[in-house]
Chain A
Amino acid sequence: MSQKTTDRTGTRAAKGADGMTRRNVLKGVAALGGLAAGSGAVTGFPTIWAQNPITLRQFGTGVSNLNAIAEKCKADLGITLQMTALDSDAVSQRVVTQANSFDIADIEYWICKKVFAAGTLQPMDVKKIKYYDDIVPIFTTGKLTPESKIAQGTAPNTVGFVEGPDSKKFAPTPTQWMTLIPTIYNADTLGIRPDLVGRPIKNWKDILDPAFKGKTSILNIPSIGIMDAAMICESAGIIKYGDKGNMTKAEIDTTIDFLIKTKKDGQFRAFWKTFDESVNLMASGEVVIQSMWSPAVAAVRSKGIPCVYQPLEEGYRAWGGGLGLAKHLKGAQLDAAYEYINWYLSGWVGAYLNRQGYYSAVLSTAEKNMTPDEWAFWMLGQPAKADILSPEGKVMYTAGAVRDGGSFQDRMGAVACWNSVMDEDRYMVRRWNEFIAA
C-alpha cells in the first residue's frame, strides 16, 4: 500500500542515442572539432566517441540534473548523457551500493565526505581540467578572498582533494587529485512571506517568535535540518558551538532538546522533506517563515505570491555539489568524462545555472555567456535594467528588481556554515528521529 513518493526518479535520456544518423555524427564531429580547436584544450582524442558514440550515465539530485544540459552536451560533444534524478539519501546509497550503475555521480560535498571512503569513485587529475585555475577558490583553498575565513561544516575544500590517485584520504590542501569538480552551489537562508510576517526579519532566531506560533517549518532532512537548527539555536543564544558542522554529543543533545521543547510548544506547523512540500506550505499560507531553498522561493513567487529569501545577520548555510567519476571508468569513457567536465566548466552550463539563481564553479566563462544585465543582476546584486528571464524564458524578475541578499560576494562571503556530515552522525540521526517522534 505504501508507496515512496519522495524519490522522484526519472531517467531522462537525451534523444537519439540509438538512432544516431550519419548526419548527426558528422555534426557531432564538427562541433567537437570546433570546440577542441577553439578551446585548444584537448588534442588527439576527441573524435573517438563521435564515431563510436559514448553514453555517460549521470545521476544526482534534481537541482543540476537538467535535461537542457544533456541536450546541449549531445549537440556540442556528441556524448549522450543519461540523467537520473534522485534525492540526496538515495544518491549516497547508490554511490556506495551500486558502483557500476553510474559513470558520473553528481553529489554534494557532505555526501562526498560520507561516500568517498567506500572506494567507488576515482579522483580527477587537475592537469586535465582546463579551467582548474579559474575555479572559484572556495573549492580549492576554501577562501573566497584571501582574507575570508573558512566557514564551519563540511567546507568543500576539506573534502575536495585526496592525497593520490588511489588514495581515499582527504588532503588538507589542494593536490593534483580532485574528488569532485564543483558544479553548483548556493547560500541558503530562511524564506518568509513579507505580507504575513508583519515585521522585519533579521535573525535566524526570529523563527522562534511567539507571533509565528504554529506558522513555521524547518526541513526534515537530518543532515541539513540540524544545521538550520544550529543557526537558530546559536542566534537565540541557547548555545555556542565549537563547530556547528561537527557537533559533540552534548551539543547535539542541547540542540535537539531545545527543538523538542519548541515543537511541544506548538511553534512548528510541519516539517517538510521535499521541494514541493516547502512550496505548498509557503504558498498556502500554512507557514510564514521556514527553511527554504532558493528555487522554492522562485516557485512561490511565480504563483504571484510574495516571498523573500531573507538575508540574516548570522549569515548563510551554504551547500555545494560536484561531479565525481566512477571508479570503473577507463579508456575512452574516462576521456569522454573529462571532456564533458571541461565542457561543463566552459561557460554555457555556468550561465544556465547562474540564471536559475545558483552559482557556477567557473565564473569567468559563465560571464561570457550571460548578458551584462543578467550578470549585473545575478552576480553583482544590481537592479535589473530589463525583465530577468529564467533559462526557459519565463519572467522571473521584472525590471528594477534586486536579488535577495545582493551580490555574489555579499552572499557567498557571508557563509556561516556548510551542509555537513558529523563524526557523531549516527547519534545525531537517532536524536533527530526522537525530535520528529516527540
Chain B
Amino acid sequence: MTLSRIAPYLQATPLTAILAAFLVLPIATIVMVSFWDYDSIQIFPAFVFTNYEETISSPVTWNTYLNTLKYTVIVWAVTLVIGFWVAYYLAFHIRSATAQMVLFLVCTIPFLTSNIIRMISWIPFLGRNGLLNQTLMTMGVIDQPLEFLLFSDFAVVLAMVHLYTLFMVTPIFNTLMRIDRALIEAARDAGANAWQILTNVIIPLAKPGIAIGSIFVVTLVMGDFITVRFMSGGQSASVGLMMANQIALLQYPAAAANAVILLILVLLLVGGILRIVNIRREL
C-alpha cells in the first residue's frame, strides 16, 4: 500500500473521529437510553417501548408538538420576510461594498450580547407596567394595559423573531451577493418589470440561501426551551421544555425517547427543505 492510497483515509480521519465521538456516539447513547426503564430515582438498562408508548399515546405530546410546530411556522414565515427584505436591501440598494459590510456588521451588533439577555430584556419592556404599556397609556392610545404583550404566544414569537432573524439574513445576503448582475440587466432588457425580476430571477437564485436560513431557524425553534419558558411565563409548552422537565425529574429515558422523536421530525423537515431546494448546487 502506497502513501498515496492511504492519504485520503488519513485526511478523512480527524473529521470522522470528531463526528464519531461528538455526534454519533452521543446520539447512539440517547437512542439506547430511550429504550431503558426508570423509576423516580434511577434508570435501568432494559429494552422496553413504554417510553415511546407513553410519549406517543399522550395527548399532551401531540399538543406540545403542534404548539412547537405552530411557533416554528410563524417564526419561520416572519423571519423569512424580514430576512429577505433586509438582505435584498443590503445586496441591491447599497452600492458601496464598504457600506454593505458596515451595515451587515450593524445587523450583528445585538448578537454581541447573550441571547438570554436579549430575550429577558423584553420582559420589563412588555410587562403590564412596562415601558410600552406606560408609553401607550401616557399617549392616551389605550386606557388599560395590554395584557397580551407579555407571557403569551405573542411574546414568544416576538422574542424568537428577534433572536433568529439574523440566521435568515446572513445566508440570503450571501446568495444574493453571488447573483450575476448581468442576469438582472438581461431580464430588464427583455422587458421584465421589477416584480417579475424579483420572482423570476432573484428569488429562484436565492433559494439555496433561503433553504439554509430556513434550516437554521426551523432547527433552532424546534429545539428551543428557554425562550418559550421565559416569554410565556411558563404558560406554554414546547418539546424542548417538555424534555427539560423530564430531565429535571430524572426521567432520562422518557426525555431520550422524546429527543429521538424530535430528531426524526426535524430531520424530516430538513429533508423536505432539501428536496425542494438543492443547496449544493449553489455552494
Contact = CB atoms under 8 A, between A and B. Distances in A.
Interface string B49-90: 000001000111001100100000000000000000000000
A273 B234 contact: yes
Contacts of A430: 54, 58, 60
B213 interface: no
Listed residue (A1, A118, A268, A286) with the most chain B CB atoms within 10 angstroms of its CB: A1
Contacts of A421: 40
Given A96-B42, A114-B40, A4 B226 contact: yes
Listed residue (B60, B223, B251) with the most chain A CB atoms within 10 angstroms of its CB: B60
A214 interface: yes
B40 A269 contact: no
B64 A437 contact: yes
Listed residue (A96, A118, A433) with the most chain B CB atoms within 10 angstroms of its CB: A433
Nearest to A93: B250
Interface stretch (B2-10, B14-22, B124-132): B124-132
A413 interface: no
A2 interface: yes
B123 interface: yes
Contact of A2 (B54, B124, B151, B226): B226
Nearest to B221: A1
Interface stretch (B98-106, B187-195, B240-248, B266-274): B240-248
A271 interface: yes
Contacts of A114: 40-41
Interface in A1-47: 1-5
A267 B147 CA distance: 12
Nearest to B61: A437
Interface in A54-72: none
Contacts of B147: 214
A271 B234 contact: yes
B31 interface: no
Interface in B115-158: 115-116, 123-124, 127-130, 147, 150-151
A270 B41 contact: no
A285 B229 CA distance: 19
A3 B249 contact: no
Contacts of B128: 284-286
Given A115-B41, A437-B242, A286 B150 contact: yes
B205 interface: no
Interface string B226-240: 100100111111001
B147 to A, nearest CB: 6
Contacts of A436: 234-235, 237, 245
A96 B245 contact: no
B235 A271 contact: yes
B251 A429 contact: yes
A2 B224 contact: yes
B220 interface: yes
A1 B224 contact: yes
Given A286-B128, A433-B245, A272 B42 contact: no
Contacts of B124: 284
B127 A284 contact: yes
A270 B235 CA distance: 6
Nearest to B234: A271
Contact of B242 (A115, A270, A433): A433
Contacts of A214: 147
Contacts of A118: 41-42
Contacts of A438: 63
Contacts of B225: 2
A2 B223 contact: yes
A430 B242 CA distance: 10
Given A1-B115, A286-B128, A270 B234 contact: yes
A96 B40 CA distance: 11
A402 B129 CA distance: 30
B233 A92 contact: no
A92 B129 contact: no
A273 B229 CA distance: 9
A419 to B, nearest CB: 15
A425 B41 CA distance: 11
Contacts of B242: 433, 437
Interface string A112-156: 001101100000000000000000000000000000000000000
Contacts of B116: 3, 5
B153 to A, nearest CB: 13
A90 B250 CA distance: 9
Contacts of B150: 286
B42 A268 contact: no
Interface in B246-260: 248-251
Contacts of B245: 222, 429, 433, 436
Nearest to B237: A437
A437 B67 contact: yes
A437 B250 contact: no
Contacts of B235: 263, 268, 270-271, 436
Contacts of A92: 41, 250
29 contacts: A1-B220, A2-B223, A2-B240, A3-B114, A89-B249, A89-B250, A96-B42, A96-B250, A115-B41, A117-B41, A118-B42, A270-B234, A271-B233, A271-B234, A271-B235, A272-B233, A280-B123, A284-B127, A285-B129, A429-B249, A433-B60, A434-B58, A436-B234, A436-B235, A436-B237, A436-B245, A437-B64, A437-B67, A437-B236
Given A429-B245, A436-B237, 5 more contacts: A2-B223, A5-B226, A89-B250, A96-B250, A118-B42
Interface of B: 39-42, 54, 58-60, 63-64, 67, 114-116, 123-124, 127-130, 147, 150-151, 163, 220, 223-226, 229, 232-237, 240, 242, 244-245, 248-251
Interface of A: 1-5, 89-90, 92-93, 96, 114-115, 117-118, 214, 217, 220, 222, 263, 268-273, 280, 284-286, 421, 425-426, 429-430, 433-434, 436-438
Give the 8 A-B residue pairs with the shortest CB-CB distance, closest first: A270-B233, A271-B234, A437-B237, A89-B248, A434-B60, A220-B234, A270-B151, A437-B64
